[in-house]
Structure 1
Amino acid sequence: MKVIAAVDIMGGSVVRLVKGDPANKVVYSSDPVDTSKKWEAAGADMLHIVDLDAALSNGNNTELVVKITAAAKIPVQVAGGIRTPEKAEEMLSRASRVVIGTMAYSDPEAVRKLVKKSPGRIVISIDQVDGKVMVKGWKESTGMKVADAISQFASMGVEEFLLTSIERDGTLQGPDLRNLAEAAKSARITASGGIASLEDIVKVRSAGCSSVILGKAMYDGKVSIERVKALA
């Protein structure tokens, strides 16, 4: 199982939010590039760089994201505010993969074209509450069920899905194993949200997920990349 280190950027700093709420954040570093290098050196298989300001339509941190992708010696996937095909193409010119959420649900045809042009490099973000997909910085519901979203985009050739439990993200309350296991029956799933311990990671792997994103638990020292890698 791949270990992916999250670097969430807001206002130029590395932060973690609780349930995606910008009013409930902890700042961990003022240097996202240095933080990214730290997780790379610790053995992460990939970096997951999220521009939270772009996701929340509150400016962007594109310059920092570009610096991280340029400095990294491991694959980087970029997420947050990628809401036009042009933005996706720009990020694909610098990163290994892009994570698309809101645009996928408002313009699925754009996803189809991107997948055709860059196969294996488009990850669809499925951010869910009670099994329903949320968009626009987790503020609006699409009304779509997780299973339906996977089915729709898998039929277009999407190979990777990032499944986040919004209610658990940044809470250290444990992963949403039921939804993860169900989703993993039909697609390659990266698990995100709620992970607090090595035991949680073992459970996520047992649920069939191919990758796990480490965020708050890693920043708070509850889980180390080295120990997670040793599980394999």
Structure 2
Amino acid sequence: MKVIPAIDIIEGSVVRLVKGDPQNKIVYGSDPAEMARKWEAAGADMLHVVDLDAAFGTGNNTESIDRILSAVKIPVQIAGGIRTPEAAKDALEKAARVVIGTMAYGEPETIKRLAKRHPGKIVVSIDQANGIVMIKGWKESAGIKVTDAISQFIALDVNDFLLTSIERDGTLAGPDIQTLANAVAFSEKARIIASGGISSLEDTIKVKSAGCAAVILGKAMYDGKVSVEKVKAIA
């Protein structure tokens, strides 16, 4: 299981939100590149960098992301607001992987083309609330269930999925193990990245036991409840 710290950025600062609410945020630093170097030094396998301004349609943090990419040697996957083929192309030229949510559900043929041209570099985001996928910054329903989404995108040659429990994200309430386990069991081809609710080392052990390919560390890591080093030791 890969260990992937998250670096969420709003207006150039590293933040964590509760349930994706920009009005409910904690700022953890003003230098995303410095934070990236910190997690790399701790032994992170990859970084998950999210442009929250782009996700919410309020701007972008391109400069901050470019500095992160220049600052570290480990792979970086970029997420947040990648909603056009052009935006995906630009991100793919820079990053190891690109996480696509809203556009994937509205333009599946585009995802198919991207997955064919960039094998292993496309991750489809499955942000779920009560088993239903949410899009557009978690504000709208895509009208599709988690396992149906996995089935749809595997048929388009996508095998990597970032599965986030919106109700647990940033809450330290524990991961949605049942949904994660169901997603892992649904298809041998699906590689599930777990996100949302991690609060302890025990939670990461549960995620590993569920068969997830990777775990995203967020608020629990920033608050010192888990460390990259300790999660790596059990991963």
Which of the five TM-score ranges fits, normalised by the shorter chain?
over 0.9
Secondary structure of residue in 1 paired with 2:94: coil
| One of 189, 192, 199 as aligned partner of 2:192 | 189
The residue number in structure 2 matching 1:202 is: 205
Offset at residue 23 of structure 1 (A): 0.3
TM-score (normalised: structure 2): 0.98
| Runs of 4 or more consecutive aligned structure 1 residues displaced over 3 Å after TM superposition | none
The whole-number CA distance in structure 1 between the counterparts of 2:42 and 2:73 is 13
Offset at residue 115 of structure 1 (A): 0.3
* 1:189 maps to amino acid: I
Q: Does 1:72 align with 2:72?
A: yes
The whole-number CA distance in structure 2 between the counterparts of 1:190 and 1:125 is 9
> Percent of aligned pairs with the same residue?
69
Secondary structure of residue in 2 paired with 1:156: coil
Secondary structure of residue in 1 paired with 2:172: coil
Once the two structures are superposed, residues 184-203 of structure 1 have per-residue CA deviations (whole angstroms, 9 ceiling, x without a partner) of 11111000000000000000
The whole-number CA distance in structure 1 between the counterparts of 2:43 and 2:159 is 24
TM-score (normalised: structure 1): 0.99
The whole-number CA distance in structure 1 between the counterparts of 2:95 and 2:150 is 23
Offset at residue 16 of structure 1 (A): 0.1
Offset at residue 153 of structure 1 (A): 0.3
Q: Does 1:214 align with 2:214?
A: no
* 1:221 maps to amino acid: G
Q: Does 1:223 align with 2:226?
A: yes
Offset at residue 70 of structure 1 (A): 2.0
The whole-number CA distance in structure 2 between the counterparts of 1:66 and 1:83 is 19
Q: Which runs of 5+ in 1 are unaligned?
A: none
Q: Which runs of 5+ in 2 are unaligned?
A: none
Offset at residue 67 of structure 1 (A): 1.4
The residue number in structure 1 matching 2:45 is: 45
Q: For residues 130-149 of structure 1, what are the structure 2 equivalents within 5 Å?
A: 130-149=130-149
Q: For residues 1-232 of structure 1, what are the structure 2 equivalents within 5 Å?
A: 1-185=1-185, 186=187, 187-232=190-235
Secondary structure of residue in 2 paired with 1:86: helix
The whole-number CA distance in structure 2 between the counterparts of 1:96 and 1:159 is 15
Please report the RMSD computed on the Cα atoms of aligned residues, expressed in angstroms. 0.6
How many pairs were matched up? 232
* 2:146 maps to amino acid: V
The whole-number CA distance in structure 2 between the counterparts of 1:72 and 1:158 is 26
The whole-number CA distance in structure 1 between the counterparts of 2:155 and 2:107 is 15
The whole-number CA distance in structure 2 between the counterparts of 1:8 and 1:30 is 11
Offset at residue 66 of structure 1 (A): 1.3
Offset at residue 116 of structure 1 (A): 0.7
Once the two structures are superposed, residues 118-159 of structure 1 have per-residue CA deviations (whole angstroms, 9 ceiling, x without a partner) of 010000000000000000000000110000000000111102
The whole-number CA distance in structure 1 between the counterparts of 2:145 and 2:159 is 18
Once the two structures are superposed, residues 28-82 of structure 1 have per-residue CA deviations (whole angstroms, 9 ceiling, x without a partner) of 0000010011001000000000000000000000111111112210000000000
